[in-house]
Structure 1
């Protein structure tokens, strides 16, 4: 089952708390695009897109969309004062140079070691890997936002990924509708649960070895 709009927005709201002043941040397609609407206006940050914007803003009001302004997923966006435009070669140069502080991506699977599989399901049509491999390898911090389970109820956080990998040990953090995990030194640590879920709910729907932090907090 897919996530409802309210739940998707709560995941995005939690992810936005990881963005701090002065960061250059890339937002992937799907739930990550929603993060732009929850970044504090007090922060001086720059949102980067693979299609060539540095200084992207949040979503425009309905009826105020600009057909020439979109993120890498093709959805309408706004820009902030001082934003710049450039070609995709420059956009990827920024990524490959390691200038992104954070990238926030979706995923199909993540392993307990932080391996990420997010670009293809074998046998299914796919438009291409986009910037996933470059982003997951080169950003200083990689945050994954995704459903905790697939539409059949199978865990998406697993011991070993069964799908083709995007990067090995690339994830630093995973945020789902149920929990927040940190990935470090090949271990998966449960740091927070999302209200109304419990630690037991999270562990029973996770297909990986999980270390439960001594002080698991609740995100409302």
Structure 2
């Protein structure tokens, strides 16, 4: 095999950790989006972006998830689009093919962790226990989503994890709201938070994109202090 025929090597786990850091540090708030209607894809993304939220986690919780990822990657290249609620290797491969720039899972299996090791794009695996952190840690993961954050110990748990897992950082998701946002973001081992409070179902159902934009802008303003 000549040099030209050799496959491009996969990014190292260190490279992918750096990419997750860049994505999450820039995002700070990662909206967890479930698309109920195909017609909502672009106006919802535009409303979030107008409010200052330009990194989006589009979940596979509806039939429109994969389509939304494809559409946004094609038509809104200025946004950073990730895939959420990825449950197995087949879904991982599907969102990768759709153009997702990162992947988020609600939990971990050996299969999904290995898929992340073997992929070009970074994986942010979901955990809720120290044992799950250790499972990912053994494969080189150092960045995790804590889910569901409040039920899994919230701020107190993240503080406790800083002891045995000093080089690990988290994206807490599940129960994060404007009234506890700053408490989470004030922790040194939190890189961003995930949330849905700017995605009120009534606003989206009624096409009230101005309300989505306003809520997003208010959330980002909280972080500006």
TM-score (norm 2): 0.33
Larger RCO, structures 1/2 (Cα 8 Å, 6+ apart): 2
More helix by share: 2
